[in-house]
Amino acid sequence: MMLDTKRRKYFELNICSGSKNVKNAVLEAAILGYDVVAVNTVIGHSNEMAKKSKKKQMKNELVLTSPIKLQITSPDLQKHKLCSAPKIIYRLTITLWTEQDNIRELVAAAQSMYDIVALTPMTDAALIQCCQLGVSPDIISIDGYTEIGNDALKRLSTVPMNDTFVELLYYPCVGSSSSTARQSSIRLNQSVVRAVRGRHVFVSCGSSETACLRSPRDVLGFCSLMGLSEEQAHAALSRVCADLLFCAARRRRQTLTKQRSSYTTKAVISSDVVLPVAVIKRNIVEHAKRSIMSTNIKRPVKRQKNTNKA
């Protein structure tokens, strides 16, 4: 599969922040030809911890962490022989093994901190919850090492209508030494492409190892193995990613607007006290009534006309 002669803008939206040197990974992606790079922070419990919390009926709460900010200087660009730095955005990925009770609030809170928010379901129940109306993550990321059934994958057909995008990872095809794992990953990605009919699908690396990064030309070959057509493969690295960032920015503005509207129902009385506006109005009215009653001002009395004629 050949690249177009027209210069496209290519996106790599999954550079894990858990790698040894995130800055070098970002610069390596720029050398390979990517213009926009997302630094990904991953949170979530392991499968064993999720099972223990479910058995003991414990709260399986996740804690949000702040994004890791990167600053690329001119010496870094000179060292890697780059003319300009790639555009860096910040992403949060939440790994789910079981159903999360506060997933909607967690996604909404994460969208106010990060540019894009992704959910990675590892089981059928977690995938069904991710596809529910109202959760609205920016991305549903499908890990190639999971074994999600076809019945659960059919729920992904409703995802494009909610402006949610599906991510396919190619690192199992590169980083795995087992041929069985590579074949199962390819079959899973093909099932996902059939479920969404190739719509709202993009491809990224997803590995914490820089050696697993591949150039856009190589990734286009992986896209053909996943069942994407040539046009869909080019879109999965450029146009679909741009649409994803646009929808994520719009969803983030809506989330911030809702938060500001909730803040407008509050008023600051002092640096320590915050009261709702309704309470303040009630207090003002009661204070006005007391001040009127405390004064000896008499209200004017209307004189009645004398209707008795002499």
Predicted confidence (pLDDT) per residue in 266-291, tens digit:
433 333 444 455 555 555 556 555 55
Separation of alpha carbons 185 and 115, rounded Å: 28
| Cβ within 8 Å of residue 132, ≥6 positions away | none
Share of the chain above pLDDT 70, in %: 75
Whether residue 13 contacts residue 62, with contact meaning beta carbons closer than 8 Å, is answered with: no
Structure tokens at 43: 């949170």
Provide the 10 A C-beta neighbour count for residue 294. Answer: 8
When the candidates are 3.30.70.100, 3.40.50.150, 3.20.20.140, 3.40.1190.20, the CATH number that belongs to 11-261 is: 3.20.20.140
Per-residue pLDDT at 90? 95
Positive or negative torsion for Cα 267, 273, 278, 283: negative
Backbone angles phi, psi at 278, to 5 degrees: -60, -40
For 127-139, what is each residue's pLDDT tens digit? 999 988 788 899 9
The identity of residue 159, as a single letter, is V
pLDDT in tens, 138-180: 999 998 888 788 888 988 988 877 789 999 999 888 877 778 8
In 3D, which of 43, 141, 41 has the Cα closest to residue 89?
Answer: 41
What residues does each domain of the chain span?
11-261, 265-294
Over the stretch 115-127, which tens digit does the pLDDT of each residue have?
Answer: 999 999 999 999 9
Question: What pairing do the DSSP bridges indicate for beta strands 266-268 and 201-204?
Answer: unpaired
pLDDT above 60 for 47: no
Percent of the chain scored above 90 by pLDDT? 44
| Residue 184 identity (one-letter amino acid) | S
Q: What is the pLDDT of residues 195-247, one digit of tens each?
A: 999 989 999 998 878 888 999 999 999 999 999 999 999 999 999 999 999 99
231 versus 63: the higher-pLDDT residue is 231
Residue 214 contacts residue 12 (beta carbons within 8 Å): no
CB 192, CB 140: distance < 8 Å: no
- Of 28, 2, 1, the closest CA to residue 16 belongs to 28
* Among 59-68, 74-83, 99-108, 168-177, the least confident range: 59-68
Which residues, other chains included, contact 207 with Cβ-Cβ below 8 Å and sequence gap of 6+? 16, 169, 171, 174, 175, 213
Residue 299's CB is within 10 A of a number of other CB atoms, namely: 6
